[in-house]
Amino acid sequence: MTTLLVKNIGILQTPVGSYSHRGREQSENIRLKDSAIFIKDGIIMEITDGGRLPFSESEADNVIDAGKRLVTPGLVDGHTHMVFGGYRQNEIPLKLKGAGYLDILRAGGGIMDTVRRTRTASFDELYVKTKGFLDEMMSLGVTTCEAKSGYGLELETEIKMLRVLEKLNKDHDMDIVPTFMPAHAVEDIWKGREEEYIHICCQEMMPEIKRLGLADYVDVFTEDSVFNKEQSREYLECARKLGFGLKIHADEIEAIGGSVLAGEMKAVSAEHLIVINDEGMKSMAEGGTTAMCLPATSFYLGAAFAPARRMIDEFKIPVAMATDFNPGSCPSLNLQFVINLGYLKYRMTPEEILTAVTVNPACAIGKGHLAGTLEKGKQADLVIWEAPDMETLCYRFGSNLAKTVIKKGKIIT
């Protein structure tokens, strides 16, 4: 048994509950002053305020003095593509000359470039590279994340990617939720025969991934020049029959019905939603689908920002925010920058933002009962910030403000 006392917390701010927060609930955080947390064997035993200590200091094996700083739950990055070969810095000059994301993909670059490099990368190369990313994410305050396959587009490489995540889930302190995404791009040999590829995903790939227990969710890129709404529906229906949770990359560049489908299929989340329309938002609200908004991708693509304010106020859709870390549209794994963009570009409040990077993504990746809030009985995943309050965390940008990161009661940095 090991115990840890974190004392002298200036403000402890956290959402409450193990469910997706929508509408007004999105801004319901509790804010305790002069707080302390007592942790036993990685679990929160007690939280106090008003300068009271849950137990006497001498009862704790370790004591951390938070120095009146802000403490929040560890951040949850609910959408990443962190396992990949190579990088794509070569695309920037093309982008600056006016080539769009889909132009580069249609010309065989973009995701297909990363597919080629991921196929030739060894397991060990991918393992070491991904471990480096996880270390960096944790140092930035992330304690739970999701990660997708999708740079294989054939079973062998997809399995290699998911095995990297499986091993890192055991070896690394980060909790990683794996998502299978073979419908991430259309390779040349499948162009015009997308239905056939979808059948292979459904009949060969998904059952094998299920048998191997390598993924919890299945995701699809529903987009112009990629997979259309009906192909995506068939694919997701197969995934659901096999017992996977459903996710959809929807309305990133063209609104071809992805968010409508997400609601119809009661997908757990729909991702991007930059160009979502009212029909899509209505469908998602009815389906109970979380909006996984990715503002750093909007920033990097020079695109518009998803209408997060309307999702919260008018449609009562639970909003989460994630990095979308990947080598093309968002080569950053800094969720703190996403927080800044949520504040300035989505015009969300600090309370809404905290919900969007903790409990809402936790619920969208099946971890809401363990992570995403600071409450008795939950995992002791928390961050002591070099900031007195959430407002400062939303306002400062470009620095790493995570001072101490604690995962399941273990001090990481």
The residues that touch ligand NIG, with contacts defined as CB under 6 A, are 81, 110-111, 114, 221, 249, 252, 297, 324, 326-329
Question: Cα-flanking dihedrals φ and ψ of residue 95, to 5°?
Answer: -60, -40
CB-based closest residue to ligand NIG:
328
The answer to whether 361 and 142 have CB atoms below 8 angstroms apart is no
Relative orientation angle of helices 111-120 and 155-171, to the nearest 10 degrees: 70
Radius of gyration of the chain (CA): 21
Query: Binding to Fe ion by residue 91, rule CB under 5 A?
Result: no
- Residue 191, sorted as left (phi over 0), alpha (psi -120 to 50) or beta, turns out to be beta
Nearer to Fe ion, 202 or 294 (CB): 294
Nearer to Fe ion, 223 or 324 (CB): 324
Dihedral in degrees, nearest 10, Cα atoms 253, 230, 115, 161: 110
In whole angstroms, the minimum distance from the beta carbon of 38 to Fe ion comes to 38
In whole angstroms, the minimum distance from the beta carbon of 53 to Fe ion comes to 44
Query: Binding to Fe ion by residue 251, rule CB under 5 A?
Result: no
Query: Binding to Fe ion by residue 175, rule CB under 5 A?
Result: no
In whole angstroms, the minimum distance from the beta carbon of 203 to ligand NIG comes to 24
Query: Binding to Fe ion by residue 146, rule CB under 5 A?
Result: no
**Site mask for Fe ion (CB under 5 A), range 280-319, x = bound:** ----------------------------------------
Q: Which does 342 bind (CB under 5 to 8 A by kind): Fe ion, ligand NIG, none?
A: none
* β-strand pairing of 29-40 with 43-48: antiparallel
Query: Binding to Fe ion by residue 223, rule CB under 5 A?
Result: no
In three-state secondary structure terms, 222 is strand
CA 78, chain centre distance (Å): 2
Which residue in the set 113, 324, 351, 381 belongs to the binding site for Fe ion (CB under 5 A)?
A: 324
Nearer to Fe ion, 251 or 324 (CB): 324
Distance between CA atoms of residues 102 and 178, nearest Å: 26
- Binding residues for Fe ion, rule: CB under 5 A, are 324
